[in-house]
Amino acid sequence: MEDKGLLKPEKIYSVSEITRLIKIELEERFLQVWVEGEVSGFTSAHSGHLYFTIKDEKSQLSAVMWHSLAQKVPFKLENGLQVVCRGSIKVYEPRGTYQVQVELIEPKGKGALQLAFEQLKEKLKKEGLFSPEIKKKLPLLPKKVGIVTSSQGAAIIDILQTLERRFARLHILIYPARVQGKGSAAEIVKGIEYFSSCPDIDVIIVGRGGGSMEDLWAFNEEPVARAIFSCPLPVISAVGHEIDFTIADFVADFRASTPTAAAELVIEKEQSFIEKINMLEERIVHYLKYYTQQQVNKVTGLIHHRAFQNFKVRLLSNAQTIDELEMRALNAIKSEQHKVSEGLSRTRFLEERLTNIIKTKLQSLKGAWEKFCAELHNLSPLNILKKGYTLCWKNKGRSIVSSINEVKMGEEMTVTFYQGEFDCRVDRVNTKKNIDDKIKKTSGQGTK
């Protein structure tokens, strides 16, 4: 047997044989290798396979990554990217070339998730998804809030406790969604879309508690970013702690550093609004007291002024007049209140009277209806048949006989009683004239 790794100088080999020997030698010696370099000539085939070249200053190496492995790469491969690859050397026999079949690829100098984050951030920024001009404003006094988060996590507890502590009068709807792991991004998108179609929702909070970059990755996925951007309602992103930033934070209309901060942001304007009203009330009361005191001081000064001592009596008289007018005003108010009370009593009386009239009218209509039903029952053909009358049909029961003139000799007829019917044939027809003559003749015989 020929040694597969040893060439014989005296033998003439075919191209295929040489290629196969090289393939065996390379693939056995380079079962697993690590290669670093710059990505060049990157191509993504329709099949999902990735083809590219890894090069340095002196050489280059062809590389391929099959679709089943390529779809697990979180970042986007692109020319000029410095990478570290793990794989095995394979020979492509049809062209007699060798390439590295990549199993794992990482960006050199930074993590794959960090690179994926930066790539998507730059892409969406160029599309204008982060533009401040398109950010929607929070409603002044929100009444109904939709929250997309885990129903078991700490985020929802923090939000609810904050709202309860601040006595916020809010209607809260929760869409439970996974916020970590496979499929979590799709559930977050469904939650945002659900609240987008709900009536009366004023604002949406999307978030979760803190964690590693891997834990928060659902909020860095492109479908979540585009769902937030497309949402017609203002969206608050509340992901992680203060030091954590996600793509959702950049796309959302408002970014809250924590879920607790998101809850405070929702009710901040309402609280500020209430505080402003209270401040204005205090200022008005203070101003009225100050103004009143000024007027009292002026009047007191005039009373004690020598030039107006003679008017003291007139001022006291005017004061008495004011008291009288005040009493008259109070009496007028009491009188009007009495009239309103009387009006309410009369309204209740008329309401009861109208109710009685309607009841009487309904009772009368009910009696008329029952009488009408009884008359219809008496006129019912079935009721008439029940008294012993019959109906005659011809043409095999398709038409009823209403006159003796419609009956012909030998014609088949059907006679219907209340409890049944029978078929017969006409043997003799007597008209009314014949019957009358018969009756007269019979009557004449009776008088003799």
Tokens representing 93 are 């026999």
How is domain 15-109 classified at the CATH fold level? Answer: OB fold (Dihydrolipoamide Acetyltransferase, E2P) (2.40.50)
Instruction: Give the CATH number of domain 133-267.
Output: 3.40.50.10550
DSSP 359-387: HHHHHHHHHHHHHHHHHHHHT-HHHHHHT
pLDDT category, 113, cuts 50, 70, 90? confident
The b/e string for 123-156 (b: 16+ C-beta within 10 A; e otherwise) is: ebeeeebbeeeeeeeebeebebbbbbbbeebebb
pLDDT for the residue 448:
41
pLDDT > 90 fraction of the chain, expressed in percent and rounded: 10
pLDDT of residue 280 exceeding 80, the answer is no
Lowest mean pLDDT among 40-44, 76-80, 196-200: 76-80
More confident residue, 78 or 163: 78
DSSP 391-426: EEEETTTTEE--SGGG--TT-EEEEE-SS-EEEEE-
Contact 195, 148 (CB under 8 A): yes
* Among the listed residues 221, 222, 223, 216, the one whose alpha carbon sits nearest the alpha carbon of residue 239: 216
> Nearest 5 degrees, angle CA 260-CA 265-CA 268?
120
Residue matched to tokens 């009683």: 417
Q: Average pLDDT of 126-148?
A: 87
pLDDT tens figures, 406-432: 888 888 888 888 888 888 988 888 876
pLDDT of residue 62 exceeding 80, the answer is yes
Residue matched to tokens 């809250």: 256
Domain ranges of the chain: 15-109, 133-267, 391-447
Cα torsion angle, 232, 238, 243, 244, sign: negative
Query: What's the pTM?
Result: 0.46
Please state, rounded to an integer, the average pLDDT across all residues of the chain.
80
What is the total residue count of the chain?
A: 448
Residue matched to tokens 């014989």: 8
More confident residue, 315 or 383: 383
Contact 179, 150 (CB under 8 A): yes
DSSP 252-281: SSEE-SSHHHHHHHHHHHHHHHHHHHHHHH
pLDDT tens figures, 219-262: 988 999 999 999 999 999 988 766 668 889 899 998 888 888 88
Alpha-carbon Rg for the chain, nearest whole angstrom, is 50
* Among the listed residues 146, 64, 126, 75, the one whose alpha carbon sits nearest the alpha carbon of residue 100: 64
